[in-house]
Each structure stands twice: as structure tokens, then as C-alpha cells.
Amino acid sequence: MSNKHETAWEQVVACTEAAMKAHHVPGAVVGILHGGETRTAGFGVTNVDHPLPVTPDTLFQIGSITKTYTATAVMRLVEQGMLSLDEPVRTYVPDFRVADEDTSAKVTLRHLLTHTAGWSGDLFTDMSFGDDALARYVAAMAELQQETPLGAFVSYNNSAVTLAGYVVATVTGKTYEAAMQELVLDPLGLKRSFFNPIDVMVHRFVVGHSHGPKGPQVAKPWPIPRAENPCGGLVCDIGDLLRYARFHLGDGTTEDGTRLLSAETMSQMQTAQATIWKDEAIGLSWFLNVTDGVCRVSHGGSTIGQQAELTLVPQHGLAIGVMTNADEGLALNREVTHCALREYAGVNVREPEAIEASPEALAAYAGLYTRYMVDLELGMLAGQLVGQVRYTAGFPTKDSPPPPCPPPMSIGLCEPDRLLILNGALKGLPIDVVRDADGAVGWLRVGYRLQKRVR
């Protein structure tokens, strides 16, 4: 490895150590793939109650990064002629339905993989760990209400990708997990990637942590419900995550030269299918961001007290993987990823900054915005826009008690029709303003999820 790369790696390690202290993260693992070479390192401990050192072999939950694995399986079946992205889902699952019948009849796999289905996407229901869990989950989707018109806007949708996983299971005649083993995990040589907690528990693995009165405390339960495996159930070590990243940096061939997907399909997965905001778009499951002409292909993942992030920079042959075992790891992931982008690719991701805005301009966004599980109310206080989040349901199931309301947060503008949270745990998070056909403020997009204005 060159001196330049060695220095870059040292900077990433130093950034990780500093961020762990700043954000009180018990354990983390970081991996870099660049120029065909891989560097990995573990930091901290697996569990504050029963600590073991985190090593590169330690298993972490990768949460929603799993969605890209599900999309990879879908595209394999598309190339095999078993699926089409643009046929109605009912072609494969005739009895599928959500609350809106027109959407039920017309929704396609492309809608599912681009988060444009438009219904309430955060159905978290424990259907047990039986082989019928996924089918029972999809049946329960009949209650999901339409929040935006089909295909109109990007709004993050866990249940849509779960449905895509059910389609994979249905057309292959296997469980989702068995189909994924055959279509993705085995062909890519991902021998340390697991869906079943029984497989995980014989290896060193981390538990999640939340913020407690005396510091990080173990978060429970550890597993997510089996029915949600297609949208967030994979567990792996950093080596397997980078091995998977290597495939998606390539032309569709595996490390041994076997062609798994065509180059055209690989390109399609990383090509914008729908715009989120200016230089932000969604491909087939991958999120796409452009900074100074350089495209980042990425996906994050959040489970119960664990945070993960995978970022690809195809122009530089670069992949960055970061996994942490704390809710506060979200900030660490962002800081370490930005450090690695700067050191290895010369990409400086600019954080949004507040601009001057009059009270009258800010007051135009005051109102109540709602979606399943979460209300956000914006109002004016002493000439400033203030936001209050209220949770109406809990996680990991809809019957879980709602978490307490966080403190109110100050909100400003960072560009026209884009708000910015100015303080608190979500400081620096932009909020997209989405207008309806009449030009009125119809929704806010917070954390990629649209919240409808109801007053």
C-alpha cells in the first residue's frame, strides 16, 4: 500500500476513534476497499455488559443495506425472465392489496425498489419466526393507507421492499432466506452473512445500545422480526460487506469471473430512477448523490441500537463500510464516511447551512405534518420556526409503546423550499418541502419519508 493510502487510512482510524469518544459509541468496525486493496479495523467492545473486543470478524446487523441485496436478487430473476420490473405485482402475487385498490392493481416492482409506491411504509409487525411470517406480513399490508399518489414521489418504504422479498420467495418457490442464499450470498462467496439468529449466535457479534442515564445501555430485543428480513434482516462482518461492495463496483462478475448480472443491469441499478432533491436521486434501491460531479452510491441501515453505512464511489473504485453498535453511531458513520471520501477520493461533502429567512417566510411552513408512527408540528415562537416531534407508535412492532417526545428543535431555511434542523439530535438534517399540483405545501420529506400536511 502506498504512503498516500497509508496516511489516508491513518486519518480514517483517527476519525473513528475521535467520533467514538464524542458520541459515546461502545463499538465500531470500519473497512475501506480502494484500488483493489482492503483495509479493516475493529474498535471498542461488542457489549457494555459482557464486553469482548470488536474485531474485523465481528458480526453486525446491517439493517436496510439489506434492501440492496433484495434488489440484487430481483434483478437476477429479471434477467432469468422470471420477473419484470414493470408488470403489476399482482402478476406474481394475485391477492396482494393495500387500502387503495387502484394502487394495489397497478404497483410494480420498480415502484417497490424506488420507494415510490406511496403507501404508509413502516408496518412493523412480529409475525413470529415461522416460514409463513412473510406471507402473513404481506396479508397485513391490506390495512396500509395511501399517503402519496402511486409513482409521484420518493418516500422511504420498508413494507414495499418487504413485498419485493415476498415476490422473490413466491416465484422461486423457496423461503426468502433460501432464495437469497442461492441467488446472492452463495454466488458472491458471502460465507459470513446470515439471516437466522441461530447462525449468528455461534460467532462473535455485537448487541445494540441506546443512550441511558449512565451512558450506553444494551438495547432489546436483539433480532428484528423475521418477516422484515427483506428490508433489514442481514447480519455480516465487514469483510463480507466489502466483498459485496466489490461486486457492485464491478460489471456484474464475481471474484472468480462468473457472470452474475449483465453490465447493463449493474448500470441500471445505479442510474437515477426518480429524483429526491436536485443532485439526490434513487436508483434501483441504491441512493445516489452527486458532489462536484462525483456520484456516491450508498445505503444506510438502522436496527435496534445498531447503525450501518455502505458508500460506493465507482469513479474512484472506492467502497467505505462503517458499522456501529449504538443509536448515536449514525453521527459516527457520517463523520467517518465523509473523512474517507475526503482522504481517498478528494470529495468534500458540504453540510447544508442556514440562510437568512424572514419570520414571514418561515411561517409559510407552519402546520401539522403526519405519517404512520410520527407527527411533526411546526409553529412560530418569538419569530422563529420551531418543530416538535410526537411518536404515535413504537418499534419494533406497532404495539410497542411510543418513545418519549424529544425536545423541541429550531428550524431554519438552507435554500428555497428546503428546511434545516438547527439543534438537537437531528442537527444538520435537511427537510425537503414537497408541493402538490396546486403549488401548495403538501408534504415534508424528513429522513426520506414524506409527512402529509393536514393543517
List, by residue number, the catalytic residues: 64
Q: Tell me the three cell numbers of residue 53.
A: 473486543
Separation between Cα atoms, residue 446 and residue 430, nearest integer Å: 7
* Beta bridge mates, 453: 369
Q: Which residues touch 339 (CB under 8 Å, ≥6 apart)?
A: 11, 12, 15
Give the other-Cβ count within 10 Å of 293's Cβ.
8
Q: In terms of Cα–Cα distance, which of 401, 399, 408, 433 is closest to 127?
A: 399
Helix residue ranges per DSSP H, 319-387:
329-345, 359-363
Question: E strands within 372-426?
Answer: 374-381, 384-391, 409-415, 418-421
Q: Is the separation of the CB atoms in 66 and 231 below 8 Å?
A: yes
Separation between Cα atoms, residue 189 and residue 430, nearest integer Å: 38
Q: Which residues touch 214 (CB under 8 Å, ≥6 apart)?
A: none
Q: How far lies 178's CA from each of 111, 197, 231, in Å?
A: 24, 15, 15
Q: How far lies 313's CA from each of 67, 248, 324, 333, 435, in Å?
A: 19, 10, 21, 16, 32
52: left (phi over 0), alpha (psi -120 to 50) or beta: beta
Would you give the distance in Å from CA 450 to the centre of its chain? 15
Q: How far lies 359's CA from each of 224, 398, 453, in Å?
A: 44, 38, 20
